[in-house]
Amino acid sequence: MNRFRSMLRNVALTTAVSASAFTALTAHAADTIKVGVLHSLSGTMAISETTLKDTVLMMIDEQNKAGGLLGKKLEPVVVDPASNWPLFAEKTRELISKDKVSVIFGCWTSVSRKSVLPVIEELNGLLFYPVQFEGEEGSKNVFYTGAAPNQQAIPAVDYLMKQGVKRWVLEGTDYVYPQTTNKILEAYLKLKGVAADDIKINYTPFGFSDWQSEVASIKKFGSAGKKTAVVSTVNGDANVPFYKELGNQGIKSDDIPVVAFSVGEEELSGIDTKPLVGHLAAWNYFMSVDTPENKKFIETWHKFIKNPKRVTNDPMEATYIGFKMWVQAVQKAGSTETDKVEQAMIGQTITNLTGGKAVMGKNHYLSKPVLIGEIQEDGQFAVVSQTKEVAGDEWSDYLPGSKDLIADWTAPIKCGNYNTKTKTCGAK
């Protein structure tokens, strides 16, 4: 298997090298601006990422219809990293060195982003990352348009606290995003005066399907007389049997509400939502939000994808915001050069699809509002709470190791991990 894979890699590399030599020779006149799309179109992540590829294509299409950018047409370059993390790095190299793309929209899982990171920094490219994640990263070459933990997890916990929740179950799938998020949440809850006895952290394997004991222990934990809630970072497929078991064991959303960070419209469209009604999700965007911008976005999406039943979701909005901001930044800089665009990006403002403004911060994170929604029977969310715009916090204030770190890409700091205590860059 391994030998086969490395053979494939060699073949891919040689073709890439010869192809880039070829393009260098022809030295074509740049009459288009190339936009790289780096989303898995096959393998396990294809379910989620294909939608984002289509979103970028739609945005490019719209921009071209509106006259292109700097007088040139935009040209998408779509590659398929096939849910294979090392392949993400190779495809990035190919996009920048061979195809000479000006910007890349891509990645979903954190591990794929980590794989792209060294390449994009080495070749000085630009990546827009549109998915909610654990934060704890700062790069000059990456713009994070998805939510950091303080833009999703912490407001959700705040909301539940207001509802009188005193006991917490942090239930997650066993990998990096749930573990980091739960670490942050645990520190935050303790800071808010929650006793260690009132926090229960539990992990299950990927694709876990036998939730009987887990749900029974949640039920037991929740019967101690204090209002209890579950904060779920359970990922993907495992959610369906989890919610089914909750329903079957008679845990109602008003007894023990579950707030999820990985369950959105797209995930709900494939399952029976009856047992989920009333449980919560926290995102920066819901399809059900009634604003003129959102209505137009949904209409455009349905027309582009030629299916009026397709839903929109939060990572799509993050892609939308990222793309629009990039267009504005290129116009402001008058060029697609990475360094100029990077500086022009900071401070860019876009009207959110949910109302209000998204602003790109000095740390390359967005500030945007946080919405809490209750799941409805039709697979949509009814918004029960909406915050003002929250600025993304790149290094969590609640983790001991990263409390003093910030990212700031304006002069004079220009650093992704600047320690405010020691006044040095590169502390971590």
- Helices 176-191, 153-162: axis angle to 10 degrees equals 40
From residue 48 to residue 87, what is the string marking binding to other proteins with x (rule CB under 8 A)? ----------------------------------------
Residue among 5, 73, 252, 414 that touches other proteins (CB under 8 A): 252
Contacts with other proteins in 169-188 (CB under 8 A)?
174
State the Cα–Cα distance between residues 156 and 89, nearest whole angstrom. 34
Residue 347, phi-psi category: left (phi > 0), alpha (psi -120 to 50), beta (remainder): left
Cβ of residue 225: shortest distance to other proteins, in angstroms?
3
Residue among 57, 77, 161, 277 that touches other proteins (CB under 8 A): 277
Cβ of residue 203: shortest distance to other proteins, in angstroms?
6
Q: Is 300 in the site for other proteins (CB under 8 A)?
A: no
State the Cα–Cα distance between residues 417 and 405, nearest whole angstrom. 6
Cβ of residue 239: shortest distance to other proteins, in angstroms?
9
Residue among 11, 13, 191, 224 that touches other proteins (CB under 8 A): 224
Q: Is 212 in the site for other proteins (CB under 8 A)?
A: yes
Q: Is 35 in the site for other proteins (CB under 8 A)?
A: no
Q: Is 30 in the site for other proteins (CB under 8 A)?
A: no
Q: Is 387 in the site for other proteins (CB under 8 A)?
A: no
Q: Is 208 in the site for other proteins (CB under 8 A)?
A: yes
Q: Is 195 in the site for other proteins (CB under 8 A)?
A: no
From residue 361 to residue 380, what is the string marking binding to other proteins with x (rule CB under 8 A)? -------------x-xx---
Phi, psi of 79 (to 5 degrees): -120, 160
Cβ contacts of 50 within 8 Å, gap of 6 or more: 39, 40, 41
Q: Is 359 in the site for other proteins (CB under 8 A)?
A: no
Stretch of 29-37, 43-51, 328-336, 392-400 contacting other proteins, by CB under 8 A = 43-51
Cβ of residue 50: shortest distance to other proteins, in angstroms?
9
Cβ of residue 212: shortest distance to other proteins, in angstroms?
4
Stretch of 3-11, 95-103, 263-271, 419-427 contacting other proteins, by CB under 8 A = 263-271
Output 87-92 pairs: Cβ under 8 A, ≥24 positions apart. 88/38, 88/112, 88/115, 88/116, 89/115, 89/116, 89/118, 89/119, 90/9, 90/12, 90/13, 90/16, 91/38, 92/36, 92/38, 92/116, 92/119, 92/120, 92/123, 92/125, 92/127
Q: Is 44 in the site for other proteins (CB under 8 A)?
A: yes
Q: Is 420 in the site for other proteins (CB under 8 A)?
A: no
Residue tagged 């009856």 (tokens): 274
Cβ contacts of 270 within 8 Å, gap of 6 or more: none
3-state secondary structure of 384: strand
State the Cα–Cα distance between residues 194 and 369, nearest whole angstrom. 26
Residue among 23, 124, 248, 331 that touches other proteins (CB under 8 A): 248
- How far CA 157 is from CA of 38, 184, 188, 193, 281, in Å, comes to 33, 11, 9, 13, 11
Of 157, 185, 169, 187, which Cα lies nearest the Cα of 226?
A: 169
Q: Which residues pair with 168 in a beta bridge?
A: 199, 229
Q: Is 349 in the site for other proteins (CB under 8 A)?
A: no
Contacts with other proteins in 129-148 (CB under 8 A)?
none
3-state secondary structure of 179: helix
Stretch of 22-30, 110-118, 128-136, 235-243 contacting other proteins, by CB under 8 A = 235-243
Exposed (0-12), middle (13-18) or buried (19+): which is 299, by Cβ within 10 Å? Answer: exposed
Q: Is 20 in the site for other proteins (CB under 8 A)?
A: no
Stretch of 113-121, 128-136, 270-278, 320-328 contacting other proteins, by CB under 8 A = 270-278
DSSP string, 210-237: --HHHHHHHHHHTTSSS-EEEEEE--GG
Residue 138, phi-psi category: left (phi > 0), alpha (psi -120 to 50), beta (remainder): beta
Q: Is 214 in the site for other proteins (CB under 8 A)?
A: yes
Q: Is 237 in the site for other proteins (CB under 8 A)?
A: yes
Binding stretches for other proteins (CB under 8 A)? 44, 46-47, 163, 174, 202-205, 207-210, 212-214, 216-217, 223-225, 237, 240-241, 244-245, 247-250, 252-254, 257, 269-272, 274-275, 277-278, 280, 374, 376-377, 382, 384
